[in-house]
Amino acid sequence: MFDLITNKDSNVKNDVLSGITVALALVPEAVAFAFVAGVEPMVGLYAAFMMGLITSAIGGRPGMISGATGAMAVVMVSLVAMHGVQYLFVAVILAGLLQLMAGIFKLGKFIRLVPYPVMLGFVNGLAIVIFLAQLGQFKVLDTSGIQVWMEGQMLYLMLGLTALTMAIIFFLPKLTSAVPASLVAILTVTALVHGLDLEARTVIDFVKDMVPAEQRDTVTLAGELPSFAIPAVPFTLETLYIVLPTSIILALVGLIESLLTLSLIDDLTDTRGKGNRECIGQGVANTVNGFFGGMGGCAMIGQSMININSGGRGRLSGITAALVLLAFILFAAPLIEMIPLAALVGVMFMVVIGTFEWASFKIIRGVNKEDAFVLFAVTAITVYADLAIAVIVGVIMSALVFAWKHATHIVAKTHTDKDGWKIYEVEGPLFFGSVLHFKDLFDPNNDPQDVVIDFNDSRIWDSSGLDAIDNLAEKYRQAGKKLHIRHISEECRDLLTKAQEYVEINVAEDPRYHVASDKLA
């Protein structure tokens, strides 16, 4: 990964300055995702504040930033459009409770089942998504109210300021790491734009483009403290049926994105976050969001990368970001509205460079084609569909590849002992995928009177393997021959049905292991 990290140690100064930088980058993202979900900008800003504060305080990954995200916003669109924002608040509460249960029952550990190619695909896919999202900042409204690409002087100014921002972020750490380069870049470009009176688009211009024309003169990012309110919906089974599907998807998307981001931050900082605690933190944050008028959210890989790259390592960085964002809303909205969009785009472009796993291109040359296919598939699905779907599909594809590879790894060495008995020394796992290969290893019609199957170098993993042994025993019985089985576990021996009746099973020096079988249920 492109290494933009200049400080791996946590301290108060780094956390505070990094938190301020993150707060500046949170504003346009929260506003944009609020409009994606079909809710007012303040609903997105409240979500960014509450998600960031709560997950930073009680979550399982210091330094990771949570807020309103696009992955969850797209899930909310249809619910808000059909039933209104109050039903969204109920869905967010229920999603939070589901995430809480996932943490209480310690389901966060299952993130370890995500294979490395899927992780690479996730990271690369999100980097591309972040990049594509920034391209929207290069569009403006024409006289008919339609968004078109910038042209001429406006485009050149936008590109120049973006490039300047990226240059400051890249070169400043080579001179000093006393302050976050991203914060210096944002402040420098903002001062340049307003000092020279350049006609560059600002945050408030972006917000105005997203509201009806009649509201543009009065639109502002100023707001009040979020207040507690029970969602105004009928608490009936019908309401539950309406929100439950959305809540389940929100919970899954939120946990998958948060836990994968947690794993990424772990790798970057050489530390270990707590997945189950993060599930609880995300659950509490989303539950609180629903009662205080926020749209909920999850971990944000872009803002988390800004925080880590700026030196934020402790919980104080995320708490600072949330409190500074609230201060902007309450007291300093005019200041945040002045920030040029080019400065924030430049910061996010550097995040893309730091997030994308450039080593993927080298890794592809050294790994097998199956892993490369999984990597590209997860990346593509993340970009064009949905993060949760991409990860689930990637895990399934990797599992099928694993099963197929190991299905062909079962072999048998044969020899005849001094008594004329034929010995099959089986090597490799016996499970549903390798059953056909296992059956092809034997020749009941032409084998001698006594046949031994030795599982000393093999293991029986599931009921399909047990059934294969039973069926093989039946074939040898029908051929009038005696089958002997050696070195299987006591549990496997007890689960065999036909083989127990007329097969000699040698229990001496048998291994001890368990088998996955519905016969144990």
> How far, in Å, are 413, 499, 521 from residue 105 at the CA level?
45, 40, 21
Question: Of 322, 344, 359, which marks where a domain is finished?
Answer: 359
350 in any annotated domain: yes
Residues 275 and 195 occupy one common structural domain? yes
Question: Of 359, 382, 399, which marks where a domain is finished?
Answer: 359
User: Hey, CA dihedral for 195, 197, 200, 204, is it positive or negative?
Assistant: positive
Give the tens place of pLDDT for each residue, 458-493. Answer: 888 888 888 888 889 889 989 998 888 888 877 777
Q: For the domain that residue 460 is a member of, what is the CATH number? A: 3.30.750.24
Q: Give the pairing of strands 450-460 and 482-486.
A: parallel
Residues 129 and 259 occupy one common structural domain? yes
Residues 415 and 354 occupy one common structural domain? no
Please give the residue range of the domain that contains residue 33: 12-359
Q: How far apart are CA 278 and CA 274, in angstroms?
A: 6
Residues 184 and 58 occupy one common structural domain? yes
366 in any annotated domain: no
Count structural domains, the chain.
2
Residues 199 and 273 occupy one common structural domain? yes
Residues 345 and 463 occupy one common structural domain? no
3-state SS class at 341: helix
Read off the pLDDT band of 19 (50, 70, 90). Answer: very high
Read off the pLDDT band of 100 (50, 70, 90). Answer: very high
306 in any annotated domain: yes
Residue 403 tokens read as 């099963």
Residue 237 tokens read as 């089974």
Which string of b and e fits 290-319 if b means at least 16 CB within 10 Å?
A: bbbbbbbbbbbbbbbbbbbbbbbbbbbbbb
DSSP 88-100: HHHHHHHHHHHHH
Residues 159 and 303 occupy one common structural domain? yes
Residues 283 and 169 occupy one common structural domain? yes
Residues 224 and 303 occupy one common structural domain? yes
Residues 62 and 174 occupy one common structural domain? yes
Give the tens place of pLDDT for each residue, 289-317. Answer: 999 999 999 999 888 988 998 889 899 99
Give the tens place of pLDDT for each residue, 354-411. Answer: 878 887 777 667 667 788 888 889 889 888 877 778 888 888 898 888 877 777 788 8
Mean pLDDT, range 306-333, rounded to an integer = 92
Give the tens place of pLDDT for each residue, 160-218. Answer: 999 999 999 999 888 887 777 888 999 999 999 999 999 999 988 888 887 777 777 88
- Is the pLDDT score of 3 beyond 80? no
385 in any annotated domain: no
CA neighbor of 465 nearest in space, from 443, 496, 491, 490: 496
Residues 168 and 270 occupy one common structural domain? yes
The model's pTM is: 0.73
Spatial contact of 121 and 387, defined as CB atoms under 8 Å apart: no
Residues 173 and 267 occupy one common structural domain? yes
